[in-house]
Structure 1
């Protein structure tokens, strides 16, 4: 344990990472709602005053964790998608690669996954700073769907949305504009795909499917392929076992 008051300038510069690392280690044990600056101080070997000097309030620490975690999970998807794209994989295979990467990240980081996709933390309201990092996951999905649309890889839907778009301007901007018929509702369909992905991960990370399917990895791939059909995208499946 480092004694309070003996930090060098370099040590002070590294305090945010030390504190966040300790906080992330406590997420599995305490949950985000149980996280406190006192607990983090004890876990990091710092005085509470040192933690408060970096993160004056628990909410400041939660915001920093959210930004880091959203960025990490989004980067995992981006890197997998880029590797598949560089291998000239079709859009469906790129989607499978990106979602598999998020699944692996989620199992490797269950506390962090729960932070961003579990129950909301009481009395905490994420600030605008968390929006760009949180947008990286849907941006990967949107980019794959957009490229598939431009490459002619999407199958027109049987059912089309009746009435005007159900979208906020931010969603249209993220996708790069409203597509024309017969794909005018593909953004809404992409949001359904996104919600299916996160719901599937919640089921698997929180062990809701382990007593229903014998091969959860293969089931994940199958579920992504089924969900992708909603946007008209064919996902190639191979032999995959745990």
Structure 2
């Protein structure tokens, strides 16, 4: 890398980008467990000191990759939602668009998907810095559900969730408050939708449905429509898939 004329900040940014690019390649080949400073330096033709100058420890590099993965996947959903909104789509069509976008990102970036949604990495604990990027995915879903509620596009559930409140304040804040009955449990139902989406992607990315269904893309749409029924939202099926 030619760093002539670059100031210290630019040089660090360039070195950080180079290290992360190499780390992503290793992530595909070796998985998260293989991302040591020595391995990244060797694969990228760098000195270990160059790697450690921007990511002093393995966990620092992992955290940077986790943040990038959450931001990139969240951005894919946000862009799909904006396009759907610009086209005047219903909330159900928006939901289908954003979940398809996350599915496409997941298949295009299976190593990064595995990093954030696969098995836990031994001895790694994600710091608080990863929370805002990770929140982009549920925030998109929450925004669609909130829009559907305000537009009268939701069907009231046949029965509400019984028992004490199940939510943390952060979840209520992300949604914008707890709605009145009969939608007072819509945030809990939205979390079920979110977890169903991630579980479905895990099944598809890791080839758990390929020997059970004829068309995995169509099955994905069907599953999203079924999951959306739990929040009283109709998802239009029959649209073309990639």
TM-score band (shorter)?
A: over 0.9
Which residue of structure 2 lines up, in the alignment, with residue 160 of structure 1?
160
Which residue of structure 2 lines up, in the alignment, with residue 41 of structure 1?
41
Q: Which runs of 5+ in 1 are unaligned?
A: none
Do the aligned residues in 1 keep the contact of 2:92 with 2:235 (CA within 8 Å)? yes
Separation in 1 of the partners of 2:62 and 2:189? 31
Q: Please show how residues 191-202 of structure 1 align to structure 2 within 5 Å.
A: 191-202=191-202
Deviations 1:181-227 (A, max 9, x none): 00000000000000000000000000110011110000000000000
Structure 1 residue 13: Cα displacement: 3.5
Deviations 1:111-160 (A, max 9, x none): 00000000111111111000000000000000000000000000000121
Structure 1 residue 48: Cα displacement: 0.8
Which residue of structure 2 lines up, in the alignment, with residue 237 of structure 1?
237
Count of aligned positions: 238
Is 1:134 matched up with 2:110?
A: no
In the superposition, the TM-score normalised over structure 1's length comes to 0.95
Q: From the superposition, tell whether residues 132 and 92 of structure 1 become closer, same or farther in structure 2 (CA, over 3 Å).
A: same
Separation in 2 of the partners of 1:174 and 1:230? 20
Structure 1 residue 61: Cα displacement: 0.3
Q: From the superposition, tell whether residues 7 and 200 of structure 1 become closer, same or farther in structure 2 (CA, over 3 Å).
A: same
Is 1:17 matched up with 2:36?
A: no
Which residue of structure 1 lines up, in the alignment, with residue 175 of structure 2?
175
Separation in 1 of the partners of 2:69 and 2:137? 11
Separation in 2 of the partners of 1:136 and 1:164? 27
Structure 1 residue 39: Cα displacement: 1.1
Q: Please show how residues 85-124 of structure 1 align to structure 2 within 5 Å.
A: 85-124=85-124
Q: Give 3-state SS (helix, strand or coil) of 1:14's partner.
A: helix
Q: From the superposition, tell whether residues 81 and 239 of structure 1 become closer, same or farther in structure 2 (CA, over 3 Å).
A: closer
Do the aligned residues in 1 keep the contact of 2:142 with 2:190 (CA within 8 Å)? yes
Which residue of structure 2 lines up, in the alignment, with residue 215 of structure 1?
215
Structure 1 residue 163: Cα displacement: 2.3
Q: Which runs of 5+ in 2 are unaligned?
A: none
Which residue of structure 2 lines up, in the alignment, with residue 145 of structure 1?
145
Which residue of structure 2 lines up, in the alignment, with residue 69 of structure 1?
69
Do the aligned residues in 2 keep the contact of 1:215 with 1:241 (CA within 8 Å)? no
Q: Which runs of 4+ in 1 moved over 2 A?
A: 6-13, 239-242
In the superposition, the TM-score normalised over structure 2's length comes to 0.95
Worse overlay, 87-96 or 154-163:
154-163
Separation in 1 of the partners of 2:129 and 2:241? 39
Structure 1 residue 34: Cα displacement: 2.2
Do the aligned residues in 1 keep the contact of 2:70 with 2:133 (CA within 8 Å)? yes
